[in-house]
Structure 1
Amino acid sequence: MRAKSGPMPSLTDLAEIGGMSLSALRQLFLQAHQTSPMAYIRNLRLTMNYDNLNIQAAAVLSGYTSASNFATVFRKSFALTPSQVRQHKLRRFKSS
């Protein structure tokens, strides 16, 4: 899931590939990762390295059509805005 960009397979597709029901896939995923498949995918998209991109470009690459929607979900997930994370990274880079 991490390496390939573009449309991701649906959970139904993944369950079919794995030869199990959708509910079984969700249950196994929750046991293995302590989160739902959709929350896991959302977290992967939000934590990708977008250091050289503006917020709109990062939003589009993360699957969001709106930079404000991306920033809202990001802030709810990490208690920081994307800009705050970028500023923190810049301060760490300059101090090293």
Structure 2
Amino acid sequence: MLVCADESYLTNGYLETSIDWIPGLKNVRLRDIPTLIRTTDPNDIVLNFMITQLDRARKASAIILNAFDALESETLDAIKPLLSPLYTIGPIHLLHRQLSEKG
């Protein structure tokens, strides 16, 4: 979660800061984090919704992701202990294309 005191972080170069505290991700800057969780309000409704959904995901019997093991294995390996069991079925857009051609 990225919560800043004011909106100056949008223009002062702060978003260029490299982050190394997200397991499985390399060469990530703060600007690469989705804008919907970059907020100056810790009570932001979207941020709190995301936090609630992540808590619910931890309790799920399984998680299915649109991810490709061969390309994203390092990130998936970091997520698996948190969200287990984890199944990948991606890339879905290629599967959709195959199904459309058969149809």
State if a TM-score over 0.5 links the two structures.
no
Instruction: Using structure 2 for the length normalisation, give the TM-score.
Output: 0.31
Structure of greater relative contact order (alpha carbons < 8 Å, 6+ residues apart): 2
Specify the structure having the higher radius of gyration (Cα).
2
Task: Name whichever structure is richer in strand by fraction.
Answer: 2
TM-score normalised to structure 1 length: 0.32
> Which one has a larger percent helix, Structure 1 or Structure 2?
1
